[in-house]
Amino acid sequence: MTTETAFLTITLTDREPVRIRTAEWPTIASASGDSFEGMDEARHVQALFDGRCDRYSLRVRQHVSGQTLVYGAYVAAPAYTRKGYKDGELIQKRGPADTPAAIWRVGTKCRLPDWIIRECIAELPAEELQVDIPSQTTAPHEKQAYTALRDFFLTRLRPAIFRVPKVERDVQDSVEQLLIGRGMQKGQDYDREVGRVKVSVKEVVPDFIVHKLQLAIEIKLITTSARVREVVDEINADIRAYSLAYRQIMFIVYDLGYIRDEIEFRHGLEKGGVDILVVKH
Protein backbone atom coordinates (compact mmCIF):
# COMPACT_ATOMS: atom_id res chain seq x y z
CA MET A 1 0.00 0.00 0.00
CA THR A 2 1.34 3.43 -0.97
CA THR A 3 1.53 5.93 1.89
CA GLU A 4 1.14 9.57 0.92
CA THR A 5 3.84 11.98 2.10
CA ALA A 6 2.90 14.57 4.73
CA PHE A 7 4.04 17.47 2.52
CA LEU A 8 3.97 17.90 -1.24
CA THR A 9 5.48 20.54 -3.54
CA ILE A 10 3.42 21.24 -6.67
CA THR A 11 4.56 23.01 -9.85
CA LEU A 12 2.17 25.74 -11.03
CA THR A 13 1.84 27.81 -14.19
CA ASP A 14 3.54 31.24 -14.26
CA ARG A 15 4.15 31.39 -10.53
CA GLU A 16 6.28 29.82 -7.84
CA PRO A 17 5.54 26.23 -6.72
CA VAL A 18 3.38 25.70 -3.64
CA ARG A 19 3.98 23.37 -0.70
CA ILE A 20 0.94 21.82 0.97
CA ARG A 21 0.06 19.45 3.78
CA THR A 22 -1.52 16.56 1.91
CA ALA A 23 -3.90 15.78 4.79
CA GLU A 24 -5.41 19.27 4.43
CA TRP A 25 -5.77 18.95 0.63
CA PRO A 26 -7.50 15.59 -0.05
CA THR A 27 -7.65 14.30 -3.61
CA ILE A 28 -11.13 14.64 -5.14
CA ALA A 29 -10.28 13.37 -8.64
CA SER A 30 -7.35 11.78 -10.46
CA ALA A 31 -6.37 9.87 -13.56
CA SER A 32 -3.16 8.14 -14.59
CA GLY A 33 -1.85 5.85 -17.28
CA ASP A 34 0.88 5.32 -19.83
CA SER A 35 1.51 5.20 -23.56
CA PHE A 36 1.47 1.41 -24.01
CA GLU A 37 -0.92 0.31 -26.75
CA GLY A 38 -2.15 -3.25 -26.76
CA MET A 39 -3.88 -5.84 -24.59
CA ASP A 40 -0.92 -8.06 -23.72
CA GLU A 41 -0.32 -7.41 -20.02
CA ALA A 42 3.01 -9.24 -19.99
CA ARG A 43 4.36 -7.01 -22.80
CA HIS A 44 2.96 -3.99 -20.97
CA VAL A 45 4.82 -4.87 -17.79
CA GLN A 46 8.02 -5.50 -19.76
CA ALA A 47 7.71 -2.14 -21.57
CA LEU A 48 7.33 -0.36 -18.23
CA PHE A 49 10.32 -2.23 -16.81
CA ASP A 50 12.43 -1.34 -19.86
CA GLY A 51 11.49 2.34 -19.61
CA ARG A 52 9.78 2.40 -23.01
CA CYS A 53 6.47 3.94 -21.85
CA ASP A 54 5.58 7.57 -21.25
CA ARG A 55 3.63 8.02 -18.03
CA TYR A 56 0.70 10.38 -17.49
CA SER A 57 -0.87 11.73 -14.32
CA LEU A 58 -3.51 14.35 -13.53
CA ARG A 59 -4.82 15.14 -10.05
CA VAL A 60 -7.24 17.52 -8.32
CA ARG A 61 -6.97 18.39 -4.64
CA GLN A 62 -9.34 20.58 -2.66
CA HIS A 63 -9.01 22.40 0.65
CA VAL A 64 -11.98 22.75 3.00
CA SER A 65 -11.91 26.50 2.20
CA GLY A 66 -12.89 25.69 -1.39
CA GLN A 67 -9.47 26.41 -2.91
CA THR A 68 -8.63 23.83 -5.56
CA LEU A 69 -5.30 22.61 -6.95
CA VAL A 70 -5.16 21.00 -10.40
CA TYR A 71 -1.78 19.61 -11.48
CA GLY A 72 -0.39 17.09 -13.91
CA ALA A 73 2.76 15.54 -15.30
CA TYR A 74 3.97 13.93 -18.49
CA VAL A 75 6.98 11.77 -17.61
CA ALA A 76 8.80 10.87 -20.80
CA ALA A 77 10.00 7.30 -21.30
CA PRO A 78 13.56 6.99 -19.90
CA ALA A 79 14.61 4.90 -22.89
CA TYR A 80 14.11 7.84 -25.25
CA THR A 81 15.29 11.44 -25.28
CA ARG A 82 11.95 13.22 -25.11
CA LYS A 83 11.08 16.12 -22.87
CA GLY A 84 8.65 15.76 -19.98
CA TYR A 85 6.14 18.36 -18.79
CA LYS A 86 4.70 19.55 -15.48
CA ASP A 87 1.97 22.10 -14.94
CA GLY A 88 -0.64 23.18 -12.41
CA GLU A 89 -3.20 25.79 -11.41
CA LEU A 90 -4.54 27.09 -8.10
CA ILE A 91 -8.22 28.07 -8.26
CA GLN A 92 -8.99 30.57 -5.49
CA LYS A 93 -12.75 30.83 -5.97
CA ARG A 94 -14.41 27.89 -7.65
CA GLY A 95 -17.47 28.14 -9.88
CA PRO A 96 -19.39 25.18 -11.37
CA ALA A 97 -17.27 25.02 -14.54
CA ASP A 98 -13.94 26.25 -13.20
CA THR A 99 -12.44 22.90 -12.20
CA PRO A 100 -13.16 21.00 -15.46
CA ALA A 101 -11.83 23.97 -17.45
CA ALA A 102 -8.65 24.00 -15.35
CA ILE A 103 -8.23 20.24 -15.87
CA TRP A 104 -8.38 20.77 -19.63
CA ARG A 105 -5.86 23.63 -19.49
CA VAL A 106 -3.39 21.74 -17.31
CA GLY A 107 -3.80 18.50 -19.26
CA THR A 108 -3.26 20.29 -22.57
CA LYS A 109 -0.14 22.11 -21.34
CA CYS A 110 1.27 18.81 -20.07
CA ARG A 111 0.63 17.22 -23.50
CA LEU A 112 -1.58 14.57 -21.88
CA PRO A 113 -3.92 12.50 -24.07
CA ASP A 114 -7.61 13.43 -24.08
CA TRP A 115 -8.65 10.17 -22.41
CA ILE A 116 -6.62 11.04 -19.29
CA ILE A 117 -8.22 14.51 -19.14
CA ARG A 118 -11.74 13.16 -19.61
CA GLU A 119 -11.19 10.41 -17.06
CA CYS A 120 -10.04 12.94 -14.46
CA ILE A 121 -13.11 15.15 -15.05
CA ALA A 122 -15.36 12.10 -14.75
CA GLU A 123 -13.83 11.38 -11.32
CA LEU A 124 -14.93 14.78 -9.91
CA PRO A 125 -17.65 14.66 -7.21
CA ALA A 126 -21.06 14.55 -8.83
CA GLU A 127 -23.04 17.78 -8.86
CA GLU A 128 -26.42 17.44 -7.15
CA LEU A 129 -29.01 18.79 -9.59
CA GLN A 130 -31.92 20.52 -7.92
CA VAL A 131 -35.16 21.63 -9.55
CA ASP A 132 -37.32 24.13 -7.70
CA ILE A 133 -40.97 23.16 -7.91
CA PRO A 134 -43.29 26.19 -7.78
CA SER A 135 -45.51 26.31 -4.70
CA GLN A 136 -48.84 27.99 -4.15
CA THR A 137 -47.69 29.17 -0.74
CA THR A 138 -44.67 31.21 0.19
CA ALA A 139 -41.92 28.99 1.60
CA PRO A 140 -40.61 30.05 5.03
CA HIS A 141 -37.22 31.67 5.24
CA GLU A 142 -34.44 29.09 5.09
CA LYS A 143 -33.16 29.88 8.57
CA GLN A 144 -36.64 29.62 10.06
CA ALA A 145 -37.23 26.34 8.23
CA TYR A 146 -33.95 24.92 9.54
CA THR A 147 -34.69 26.01 13.12
CA ALA A 148 -38.16 24.52 12.94
CA LEU A 149 -36.77 21.19 11.67
CA ARG A 150 -34.11 21.11 14.40
CA ASP A 151 -36.64 21.81 17.15
CA PHE A 152 -38.98 19.23 15.64
CA PHE A 153 -36.35 16.49 15.96
CA LEU A 154 -35.44 17.56 19.51
CA THR A 155 -39.03 17.31 20.71
CA ARG A 156 -40.44 14.49 18.58
CA LEU A 157 -37.67 11.93 18.03
CA ARG A 158 -37.60 10.42 21.54
CA PRO A 159 -41.38 9.81 21.69
CA ALA A 160 -41.20 8.23 18.23
CA ILE A 161 -38.81 5.48 19.38
CA PHE A 162 -40.69 2.75 21.24
CA ARG A 163 -37.89 0.20 21.70
CA VAL A 164 -34.26 0.64 22.66
CA PRO A 165 -32.42 0.97 19.31
CA LYS A 166 -29.71 -1.61 18.71
CA VAL A 167 -28.21 -0.16 15.52
CA GLU A 168 -28.18 3.27 13.89
CA ARG A 169 -30.63 2.12 11.22
CA ASP A 170 -33.30 1.84 13.94
CA VAL A 171 -32.90 5.57 14.64
CA GLN A 172 -32.68 6.38 10.93
CA ASP A 173 -36.03 4.66 10.34
CA SER A 174 -37.67 6.74 13.07
CA VAL A 175 -36.19 9.96 11.64
CA GLU A 176 -37.56 9.07 8.20
CA GLN A 177 -41.02 8.42 9.65
CA LEU A 178 -40.93 11.86 11.26
CA LEU A 179 -39.95 13.48 7.96
CA ILE A 180 -42.83 11.72 6.20
CA GLY A 181 -45.21 12.69 8.99
CA ARG A 182 -44.10 16.28 8.54
CA GLY A 183 -45.38 16.12 4.96
CA MET A 184 -42.02 15.76 3.25
CA GLN A 185 -41.76 13.57 0.14
CA LYS A 186 -38.78 11.34 -0.55
CA GLY A 187 -37.02 12.27 -3.76
CA GLN A 188 -38.51 15.75 -3.73
CA ASP A 189 -38.05 17.28 -0.26
CA TYR A 190 -35.51 14.82 1.15
CA ASP A 191 -33.50 11.75 0.21
CA ARG A 192 -31.95 8.93 2.20
CA GLU A 193 -28.40 7.66 1.70
CA VAL A 194 -27.75 9.56 -1.53
CA GLY A 195 -25.54 12.55 -2.35
CA ARG A 196 -22.12 10.91 -2.27
CA VAL A 197 -19.12 13.05 -1.35
CA LYS A 198 -15.69 11.86 -2.50
CA VAL A 199 -12.74 12.58 -0.23
CA SER A 200 -9.42 11.24 -1.51
CA VAL A 201 -10.00 7.56 -2.34
CA LYS A 202 -13.04 7.29 -0.06
CA GLU A 203 -16.70 8.12 -0.68
CA VAL A 204 -19.05 9.07 2.14
CA VAL A 205 -22.84 9.30 2.01
CA PRO A 206 -25.01 11.26 4.49
CA ASP A 207 -27.94 9.42 6.06
CA PHE A 208 -30.36 12.11 4.84
CA ILE A 209 -30.26 15.27 2.75
CA VAL A 210 -32.88 18.03 2.72
CA HIS A 211 -32.60 19.60 -0.71
CA LYS A 212 -33.99 23.10 -0.19
CA LEU A 213 -31.89 23.68 2.93
CA GLN A 214 -28.72 22.19 1.37
CA LEU A 215 -28.62 20.17 4.58
CA ALA A 216 -26.92 16.85 5.35
CA ILE A 217 -28.27 14.89 8.34
CA GLU A 218 -26.13 12.20 9.95
CA ILE A 219 -27.37 9.83 12.67
CA LYS A 220 -25.11 8.55 15.45
CA LEU A 221 -26.07 5.97 18.09
CA ILE A 222 -24.14 5.74 21.37
CA THR A 223 -24.52 2.33 22.99
CA THR A 224 -21.35 2.17 25.11
CA SER A 225 -19.02 4.58 26.91
CA ALA A 226 -16.25 3.75 24.42
CA ARG A 227 -18.58 4.72 21.60
CA VAL A 228 -18.65 8.33 22.84
CA ARG A 229 -15.06 8.99 21.74
CA GLU A 230 -15.58 7.11 18.50
CA VAL A 231 -18.57 9.28 17.62
CA VAL A 232 -16.59 12.48 18.26
CA ASP A 233 -13.92 11.27 15.81
CA GLU A 234 -16.59 10.27 13.27
CA ILE A 235 -18.30 13.67 13.53
CA ASN A 236 -15.01 15.52 12.94
CA ALA A 237 -14.34 13.42 9.83
CA ASP A 238 -17.91 13.86 8.57
CA ILE A 239 -17.77 17.65 9.01
CA ARG A 240 -14.67 17.81 6.85
CA ALA A 241 -16.25 15.67 4.14
CA TYR A 242 -19.81 17.00 4.03
CA SER A 243 -18.77 20.66 4.20
CA LEU A 244 -17.40 20.17 0.67
CA ALA A 245 -20.93 19.65 -0.66
CA TYR A 246 -23.49 20.96 1.85
CA ARG A 247 -24.05 24.35 3.43
CA GLN A 248 -25.48 22.94 6.68
CA ILE A 249 -24.79 19.72 8.59
CA MET A 250 -26.99 18.34 11.38
CA PHE A 251 -25.83 15.46 13.59
CA ILE A 252 -28.52 13.68 15.57
CA VAL A 253 -26.75 11.81 18.38
CA TYR A 254 -29.08 9.30 20.06
CA ASP A 255 -27.62 8.51 23.47
CA LEU A 256 -28.50 5.48 25.59
CA GLY A 257 -27.11 7.18 28.70
CA TYR A 258 -23.36 7.41 28.16
CA ILE A 259 -22.87 11.13 27.52
CA ARG A 260 -22.31 12.62 30.98
CA ASP A 261 -21.92 16.27 29.98
CA GLU A 262 -23.80 17.27 26.84
CA ILE A 263 -22.22 20.74 26.70
CA GLU A 264 -18.71 19.27 26.91
CA PHE A 265 -19.60 16.71 24.22
CA ARG A 266 -20.79 19.41 21.82
CA HIS A 267 -17.91 21.79 22.59
CA GLY A 268 -15.59 22.27 19.64
CA LEU A 269 -17.85 20.33 17.27
CA GLU A 270 -20.49 22.98 16.65
CA LYS A 271 -19.20 25.64 14.30
CA GLY A 272 -20.54 27.58 11.35
CA GLY A 273 -23.29 25.53 9.72
CA VAL A 274 -22.92 22.53 12.07
CA ASP A 275 -25.44 21.53 14.76
CA ILE A 276 -25.16 18.66 17.26
CA LEU A 277 -28.53 17.44 18.55
CA VAL A 278 -28.20 15.09 21.53
CA VAL A 279 -31.38 13.10 22.14
CA LYS A 280 -31.51 11.01 25.33
CA HIS A 281 -33.37 7.70 25.39
CA angle 172-269-157, nearest 5°? 30
Q: What is the pLDDT of residues 186-214, one digit of tens each?
A: 989 999 988 778 766 677 889 999 998 99
pTM across the whole model: 0.50
The band of 95, judged by pLDDT with boundaries at 50, 70 and 90, is: low
pLDDT of residue 174: 94
For residue 254, count other CB atoms closer than 10 A to its CB.
Answer: 24
- State how far the Cα of 280 lies from the Cα of 13, in Å rounded to an integer: 54
Burial of 52 (0-12, 13-18, 19+ CB in 10 A): middle
Q: What is the pLDDT of residues 222-248, one digit of tens each?
A: 999 999 999 999 999 899 888 888 999
At 169 the three-state DSSP class reads helix
Looking at the DSSP bridge assignments, the partners of residue 141 are none
Q: What is the pLDDT of residues 140-167, one digit of tens each?
A: 578 888 999 999 999 999 999 999 999 9
At 50 the three-state DSSP class reads coil
What percent of the chain has a predicted confidence (pLDDT) above 90?
Answer: 49
Q: Could you state, in order of their start, the residue ranges of all structural domains in the chain? A: 7-122, 142-280
For the 142-280 domain, the top CATH level (class) is: alpha beta
The band of 41, judged by pLDDT with boundaries at 50, 70 and 90, is: confident
Alpha helices in 123-167 (DSSP H): 142-160
pLDDT of residue 157: 93
